[in-house]
Amino acid sequence: MEQAEDLSQYPLELTGKNVPMVRFKKVAKRYGSLTVLEHLDLDVAEGEMVTIIGPSGSGKTTVLRTLMTLERINEGVIYVDGKPLTHMEKDGKLVPASQKYLRAMRSKIGMCFQHFNLFPHMTALENCMEGPVHVLGIPRKQARERSEELLEMVGMADKRDQHPSRLSGGQQQRVAIARALAMRPKVMLFDEVTSALDPEVIGEVTNVIRRLVSDYNLTMLMVTHQMGFARDISDRVCFFYRGRIEEQAPPSELFGDPKSDRTRQFLSAVKEAV
């Protein structure tokens, strides 16, 4: 057993001006003896688009997975919208979040996966309606209208009655984005959403994400290997190395004039691969 952490050092909620939409405070995540996140501090402001890059195994995806509550953290606290996500208040103290509390907080977050993970037994439209109808309890007719709008927005309206097995990877990913948006999250997470796609369809997915950035006031966290895309879409780019942020800066700065040797090495290695 690891020693219980003193949680009193963390505030019960974030107050004051400029409360970030997402805050990682000294977050550690370990798998056995392997440390994936090493006391990570990361803030994401409301409406900000932050991209995470870095070598594999640097903890990029774990940031998203802990924020989606797919993984528990070992130390630290994650805050979303000013309130703790991984913990909750009890008798004026922070304690690990209950399932019920997690469900309430999780509704603020949406996620898209590398392998889409659409529900194969449902059509594109049904995939988008599933959450609104069976989780939020929105009337079918209303959920349907909203889902159709979203499918229209991602350019999949004409395929709404197709099952995922009949759609290409790019089409499935666009439906998956619509499915996540249908839950009206405040924070959207994109976990290598173009990594499983054929090169010629990557553009149709990145174009949808571009639209989200320009038309929606969403806070977004994205893990990607598309450096060009990260460069022209992000407000800020974080270079991860061994579970920590090695360097973070606006994209022009991080790509144009990286301060850290490790960042430089990584960027030049990526450039060579292209």
**Residues of this chain that bind another protein (CB under 8 A):** 68-70, 103, 106-107, 109-111, 113, 115, 117-121, 123, 130-131, 134-135, 162-166, 176, 179-180, 183
Q: How far is the CB of 117 from another protein (least distance, A)?
A: 4
SS3 for the chain is CCCCCCHHHCCCCCCCCCCCCEEEEEEEEEECCEEEEEEEEEEECCCCEEEEECCCCCCHHHHHHHHCCCCCCCEEEEEECCEECCEEEECCEEEECCHHHHHHHHCCEEEECCCCCCCCCCCHHHHHHHHHHHCCCCCHHHHHHHHHHHHHHCCCHHHCCCCHHHCCHHHHHHHHHHHHHCCCCCEEEEECCCCCCCHHHHHHHHHHHHHHHHHCCCEEEEECCCHHHHHHHCCEEEEEECCEEEEEECHHHHHHCCCCHHHHHHHHHHHHHC
Q: Least CB distance from residue 172 to another protein, whole Å?
A: 12
Backbone angles phi, psi at 79, to 5 degrees: -110, 140
Quote the least distance from Cβ 97 to another protein, whole Å. 14
Q: Which is nearer to another protein, 107 or 248 (CB)?
A: 107
The nearest distance, CB 78 to another protein, in angstroms, is 16
Q: How far is the CB of 171 from another protein (least distance, A)?
A: 13
Which of 68/254 has CB closer to another protein?
68
Whichever of 197 and 245 has its CB closer to another protein, that residue is 197
Of the two residues 132 and 258, which places its CB atom closer to another protein in the complex?
A: 132
Question: In angstroms, what is the minimal distance from the CB of 166 to another protein?
Answer: 5
- Of 163 and 231, nearer to another protein (C-beta) is 163
Class of residue 179 by CB neighbours under 10 A (exposed 0-12, middle 13-18, buried 19+): buried
The residue (of 122 and 267) whose beta carbon lies closer to another protein is 122
Nearer to another protein, 52 or 128 (CB): 128
Distance in Å, CB of 119 to another protein, minimum: 6
